[in-house]
Amino acid sequence: MKKIIYIFAALIFITISCTKDFEEINTNPNAPVAVQPSLLLRQVIYDFGEQMSYEGFVAGDLLAQHRTALDFNLFDRHDLKSPQLGGNPWAIFYTNLRDNEIIIKQSIETPAFEIYQGPALILKAYMAAGLTDLFGDVPYFEAFNGVNGIATPKYDLQEDIYQKENGILDNLDKGIAAINSYSSSIPLQGDILFEGDLQAWIKFANSLKIKYLIRISGKVDVSNQLQTIFNAGNYIKNNNENAVFDFTNSEPNSFRLAQLRVGDFNNFVLSETMEEVLIGLNDARIGTFFRPFANSNTNEFNGLINGINSSTTSIVLSDYSLAGTAFREDTSTLDANFITAWETSFLLAEAAQKGLITTSAESLYNLGVTQAFEYWNTNLPANYLSGNANFNAVGKTPLEQIITQKWIASIINGYEGWIEFRRTGFPALKSVSASLNNGLIPVRMPYPAEEATLNQVNYAVAASATNGNSLDAKVWWNK
């Protein structure tokens, strides 16, 4: 684990002038009228990482079928328009993209803040990709500007958000360029990912480029770009370089689920899908991620099918495996994870397997597995990679092995596991027990209901393009 952070609240103060004397009379001379970018950077990284870690557990892990919910589980039954304990990441993305845009503006307008431009552009690309990968077409080019922007921004096509100027890939390139061209001695402050190390931000950006090029590789020829990045080798290669920050064992910086009442924690248990995958691989991480169920006499694990109808199905909690101690009693072992060495290794293994880069896919796969076990503080059994987890295991394809291992390690980042399932079909997820989506596994998140009210005209266009805001309308890179 890299570091422990202590978060400062960063508040945005807005002054509105209505009359000649209003501002002078009503402005507190002792209150700040702007926020330092160091405080905003710290706030954006922490708030997004903390909130999406919670979301990734209570909602993303349900979609990816890492866990299942015992009660309050309409979301687990795929009624995604009814968020309960989680399942509404839209506001998290837009709040943090808005605050991050302030940092970008400050870095351009104030020479003393120039150092923040590169990291803020990289963060913008990272959050924008997460947003569009979940929802598809979203407000982007006209969004994030708060009181100085357009109140009802149009929805942009996902392919444009990825590929156009000031889009995801362009902002990663611009972020790297801004860092490389920075020549002042003013340090980057508020950086709880890399402690001000600008070269680490470049590695972060290059790992993200690998990820997003792979994500759109079914629509665009990305082989030359991927080979160039791979040959240069300037991406996250080991767990000491991971883009993460540590939670602690005490409030306010412990993992949020550890702070909630025990009933909320006990609502989430091992899914039948996750159990079958881990047991089938004889994977020691099952004891890291989950606990033996209370009624077991031999420390066995037991999972539940996703999406039960809790109003008609009686469940005994002690018959199912709860989440492991890392998620409640010892959250100092848990990270808010932006991207890691193991994810980058698996991405490159996929690229090699598909012929997008020239190197050994099996070597990268084995490296990714080793890094993932290390990341999750679990000893890698000596025979693990020669058994059912072998790259060329009988009855499995190399691509299935790569994505399945990435899916396992993405627990708590469940939205990522779900996105990769949508993109590749691996691992095979089960039909949920009492589906509220006609038995189909959703392939996008729905736009939130407030969009139909607050951005009515533009929402109507986007809803029409997704068959009435359907959960079953594929996003661009998945069509």
DSSP-assigned letters across all residues of 244-308: EEE-BSSTTSB-HHHHS-HHHHTTEEEBHHHHHHHHHTT-TTHHHHB---TT-SS-----B-SS-
pLDDT of residue 378: 98
pLDDT of residue 27: 42
CA-nearest of 453, 451, 436 to 80 is 436
- Contacts of residue 398, Cβ cutoff 8 Å, sequence gap at least 6: 353, 361, 362, 365, 391, 392
pLDDT in tens, the chain (479 residues): 444 443 433 333 333 333 334 334 344 444 445 789 999 999 999 999 999 999 999 999 999 999 999 999 999 999 999 888 899 999 999 999 999 999 999 999 999 999 999 999 999 999 999 999 999 999 999 998 765 668 899 999 999 999 999 999 999 999 999 999 999 999 999 999 999 999 999 999 999 999 999 999 999 999 999 999 999 999 999 999 999 999 999 888 899 999 889 999 999 999 999 999 999 999 999 999 999 999 999 999 999 999 999 999 999 999 999 999 999 999 999 999 999 999 999 999 999 999 999 999 999 999 999 999 999 999 999 999 999 999 999 999 999 999 999 999 999 999 999 999 999 999 999 999 999 999 999 999 999 999 999 999 999 999 999 999 999 999 999 99
User: How are the residues of the chain apportioned to helix, strand and coil, as percentages rounded to the nearest 5?
Assistant: 50, 5, 45
**400 membership: H or E segment, kind and range:** helix 398-409
Q: Which residues does residue 139 pair with via DSSP β-bridges, in sequence order?
A: 155
Q: How far apart are CA 461 and CA 383, in angstroms?
A: 54
pLDDT of residue 252: 83
Global pTM?
0.93
Q: How far apart are CA 479 and CA 473, in angstroms?
A: 9
pLDDT of residue 345: 98
**Furthest CA-CA distance within the chain:** 79
pLDDT of residue 82: 86
And the tokens for 244? 């993460």
The radius of gyration computed from the CA coordinates of the chain, to the nearest angstrom, equals 22
Judged on CB neighbours under 10 Å (0-12, 13-18, 19+), 348 is buried
pLDDT of residue 146: 60
pLDDT of residue 7: 40
CA-nearest of 113, 112, 117 to 101 is 117
